[in-house]
Structure 1
Amino acid sequence: MTVPALRDQYGQEWLFPPVEGPDQPGHDVTWLIFIPGAYTPVCMSELDQVNDLAHQLTDMSVGLRLIAPDSVPVLRLVSDQFDLRVPFLSDFWPHGAAAKHYGILDETTGRPKRVSVLISRKGDVLETITAMSGARNMTEHLSVLQNKK
């Protein structure tokens, strides 16, 4: 397996699975929200909801990481534009390695499918949310957690 070389929107390296990073405490569970392309209309509609979701997840002691196949400079622009307060990780090189690890890389497009993966501290998959078409409703991430209680 190729180990993903993730970097956040500031260029800081993250270990895989991306539960903890520079100045980021680890959580027992973390949502990984895979974004197929940071500057697409559907992805931008999802990103517009991320800060509210992150705030609610923090209250539940759940981590949140965004992952996209775009380069770090692109993610920084998008992060600044949306004033994102969560790590936005680049799965740029080796291209799509994190998405491939979770079996959600679309080999035809080279982009991840529109999937969110709830992982344990060790990186085990606990739940997934898949958008069949259009944007994910970010409140669905909260519903999954409430149903696990």
Structure 2
Amino acid sequence: MLAPALRDQYGQEWPFPPIEGPGNPAHDKTWLIFIPGAYTPVCMSELDHVGEMSAKLAELRVGLRLIAPDSAPVLRLVSEQLGIEVPFLSDFWPHGAAAQHYGIFDETTGRPRRVSLLVDRSGDVLDSINSTPGGRDMGEHLAVLQNEK
């Protein structure tokens, strides 16, 4: 399996796991939210809530990274259209390598499953949210953190 080579919506390279990157310091915990397709209606509805959730996570000192199989220019367009300021990382090539690394790549669709992973500084999974095809409730990410206390 090829190592993930992630780029953010501005084309900047990110290390893997994507805990820390250009202008984004590492946190003890970071949510990696895998998006099956940035321009699909369900994913767009989920992305509408990212800004609010990101602000709440920042108060808790928890990072947030969005990861999709789309190219960086597509992710930039979506980010600008929706006003998304968090890192939106392209898992475009090698196709789906980050999703494959975490075992959430759907070989049938060629996309990641609708999964969110809470990871530590080394990228190890601490918790996860597996969502239905109809979309995820972004509030679940905060609930997981509150249940840890």
Give per-residue Cα distances to partners, 1:78-107, cap 9 Å, x unaligned: 000011010000000000000001110000
| Equivalence map 1:41-80=2 (5 Å) | 41-80=41-80
Equivalent residues, number = 149
Amino acid at match of 1:148: E
RMSD: 0.6
Q: What SS does the aligned partner of 1:10 have?
A: coil
Distance 2:31 2:17 in 1: 11
Q: Hey, what does 1:92 align to over in structure 2?
A: 92
Q: Hey, what does 1:31 align to over in structure 2?
A: 31
Q: What SS does the aligned partner of 2:129 have?
A: strand
Moved beyond 6 Å, runs of 4+? none
Of all paired residues, the percent bearing the same amino acid is 71
Give per-residue Cα distances to partners, 1:29-68, cap 9 Å, x unaligned: 0000000000000000000000000000000000000000
Distance 1:109 1:78 in 2: 21
Q: Hey, what does 1:146 align to over in structure 2?
A: 146
Distance 1:4 1:91 in 2: 7
Amino acid at match of 1:33: I
Amino acid at match of 1:19: I
Distance 2:39 2:115 in 1: 17
Distance 1:111 1:133 in 2: 12
Distance 1:69 1:7 in 2: 11
Per-residue deviation at 1:132?
2.3
Amino acid at match of 1:42: V
Per-residue deviation at 1:3?
1.1
TM-score by length of 1: 0.98
TM-score by length of 2: 0.98
**Structure 2 spans left out of the alignment, 5+ residues:** none
Distance 2:132 2:107 in 1: 17
Amino acid at match of 2:112: P
Per-residue deviation at 1:133?
3.0
Per-residue deviation at 1:71?
0.3
Amino acid at match of 2:17: P
Q: Hey, what does 2:101 align to over in structure 1?
A: 101
Per-residue deviation at 1:75?
0.3
